[in-house]
Amino acid sequence: MNINTKILNARDKKDAKFLRKKTAKFDFKKHTKSEITKLVSQMKAIMLSANGQGLAANQIGLNSSVFVAQVDGKFYAVFNPTITKATEEKDTWQGEGCLSLPGVTAPTYSPAKLTLEGQDKNGKKLKIKAWGMLALTFQHEVDHLNGKLFIDRRVVNS
Ligand SMILES: [Zn+2]
């Protein structure tokens, strides 16, 4: 896997086209354990150097369903994630941003609580219940992997 260290920018036409495509399922059979470890550590490094708290693989040009996140000092790497439960109740956020939309923030809403299911880096099933900032981050990253940007669907109408 060739990893692009540049984060795609949704203002670029070509990048935007890629960002708005749903990613392919991550196939554990096609990658060695060391490749996967390297992918996770590189994505983490790119995210942290950009001062982000989440990064989806398609933001660095990989058509693959995986994201990394770091919230409250805890690091997550989730493969083939889906949100399997979400509350009707929403939290609102003053200014959500995105590494692919530099300089853009908007007030948004997202489920107050949700359940994320997917796989860890060993392909083992995982299930995480999240609320607050962690729920928002998971929602944001799963949106990315589905080809959606936060400005597409979760902006509070003022
Ligand atoms: Zn983003």
Q: What is the CATH number of the domain that holds 24?
A: 3.90.45.10
Structural domain count of the chain: 1
Asked if the structure places residue 87 within a domain, the reply is yes
In three-state secondary structure terms, 90 is: strand
Asked if the structure places residue 105 within a domain, the reply is yes
Dist. CA 102 → ligand 1 center (Å): 10
Asked if the structure places residue 2 within a domain, the reply is no
Asked if the structure places residue 5 within a domain, the reply is no
117 is catalytic: no
Among the listed residues 88, 89, 117, 141, the single catalytic one is 141
Asked if the structure places residue 7 within a domain, the reply is no
The pLDDT tens digits of the residues spanning 8-62 come to: 999 999 999 999 999 999 999 999 999 999 999 999 999 999 999 999 999 999 9
For residue 109, what are its two tokens?
């809403």
4 band by pLDDT with thresholds 50, 70 and 90: confident
Start-to-end CA span in the chain (Å) = 43
Domain ranges, residue 108: 13-153
The pLDDT, as a whole number, for residue 140 is 98
The pLDDT tens digits of the residues spanning 47-100 come to: 999 999 999 999 999 999 999 999 999 999 999 999 999 999 999 999 999 999
Rg of the chain over CA atoms, in angstroms? 15
Asked if the structure places residue 3 within a domain, the reply is no
Dist. CA 54 → ligand 1 center (Å): 7
Asked if the structure places residue 4 within a domain, the reply is no
- Specify whether the CB–CB gap between 47 and 59 falls below 8 A: no
Asked if the structure places residue 92 within a domain, the reply is yes
The pLDDT, as a whole number, for residue 1 is 65
Q: Check the CA dihedral 34-144-48-109 and report its sign.
A: negative
Dist. CA 142 → ligand 1 center (Å): 10
Instruction: Please enumerate in sequence order all residues whose Cβ is within 8 A of that of 141, keeping only pairs 6 or more positions apart, or say none.
Output: 54, 55, 56, 67, 69, 78, 81
